[in-house]
Amino acid sequence: MKARVQVMLKAGVLDPQGEAVRHALGSLGFDGVEGVRQGKVIELDLAESDPEAARGQVTEMCEKLLANTVIESYQIEIG
């Protein structure tokens, strides 16, 4: 079973990487960029075939490793 996790910084948390990308885009002549937020996307191939069990496992993976839940939020897509 496939699962996809998107991890983004929580609103209000400074995103230096996003700012760096915005400045770089500006220097390349893209001046209409008002904001950039950058995060991670993680695609997982799981042996688990039950969607609910898979969601439970991936949630636990996010809480333990994939996301720093103090400053990041995550979204899980199963299947």
Look at the block and give the residue holding tokens 């885009």: 25
Q: How far is the CB of 18 from a second copy (least distance, A)?
A: 8
Considering the rule CB under 8 A, would residue 47 count as an interface residue with a second copy? yes
> CB of 23 within 8 A of CB of 70?
no
- The values of phi and psi at residue 48, to 5°, are -60, 135
Residue 16 or 35: which CB sits closer to a second copy?
A: 35
* Binding stretches for a second copy (CB under 8 A): 6, 8, 18, 21, 24-25, 28, 30, 32-48, 57, 60-61, 64-66
